Amino acid sequence: MNYDAEFCRQLRVNEEEKRQCFARVSEILALATKGRNFGLLSLGKEAEESSSFLLRKGLHLALDGIKSHRARTILELYILTGDFTGKELLDRCIILEGVLGILDGMHPKLLKELLLSFLGETGHITFKEEFEVREREKLLSYLEKIENKPAATNSSAKLGNVIAKLDEKAIKRFLQIIHIDDLAKTVKEMDGKAQIKIFDHLPDRGASMLFEAIEQMDSIAPHEIVEAQNKFVAIMSELKDQGRI
């Protein structure tokens, strides 16, 4: 799709209509984070249940292993043959670029910048104010609820004790190495105080990504938790052998 001056004129909407597209951007970013952390197959439920035909179609193409350039052609034709303008066209362009970003494994942070560019400077600022603040409030509410939560298992309790003993430099070194997926699987089983300590030592974006990953874990197979915990222990052992903790 050629985003030239003429096409962009068809995309023009008022500020209220831009605001109505914020939910779509937020939805796609959540899908991108989930797909990046757990693989495209984790998006099967959304591919069946989304209220948007184009998003369902795009996710089905992703699940079917269709290459991004083929998916672009298919989705663009659905858009162009619909003769959409204004908010309807804007919404579909956001879906198009969002699905292709997910297919290409684009980092959610970069994808967010791409999608928000459709909403202009004022839209970017308003999105940050309305949605990112809301996500921060959700995280703070979660941390408040788990403060006195016990560890789920003895092994999780032991790992939580390891976290409790780390100083600020050591825990930051550890968090720079472990993959967000393994961290989420391990942290979810820990006691509340250990979880809070980990969140407190992550940058805002890292804390947000970890929270999203934990939220999206409907159920985890026991062997997946054990594998993640083993990676946790291996990283700790390596840092200790190097004298870095």
Which tens digits make up the pLDDT trace of 42-100?
899 999 999 999 999 999 999 999 999 999 999 999 999 988 999 999 999 999 999 99
Please state the φ and ψ torsions of residue 66, each to the nearest 5 degrees.
-70, 135
Give 241's Cβ-side CA count (13 Å radius): 6
What's the predicted TM-score (pTM) here?
0.65
Smallest Cα–Cα separation from 186: which of 226, 238, 143, 140? Answer: 226
Would you say 44 and 123 are in contact if contact means Cβ atoms under 8 Å apart?
A: no
Q: DSSP alpha helices (H): ranges in the chain?
A: 5-10, 15-20, 22-38, 44-49, 53-63, 68-80, 86-103, 108-116, 120-127, 133-146, 154-165, 168-177, 180-187, 192-200, 204-215, 222-241
Residue 80 is predicted with a pLDDT of: 92
User: pLDDT (tens digit, 9 = 90+) per residue, 184-237?
Assistant: 999 999 999 999 999 999 998 889 889 988 887 766 788 989 999 999 999 999
- Mean residue pLDDT across the chain: 90
The domains of the chain, with CATH numbers, are: 5-127 (no CATH), 147-241 (1.10.220.30)
Q: Other C-beta atoms within 10 Å of 216: how many? A: 16
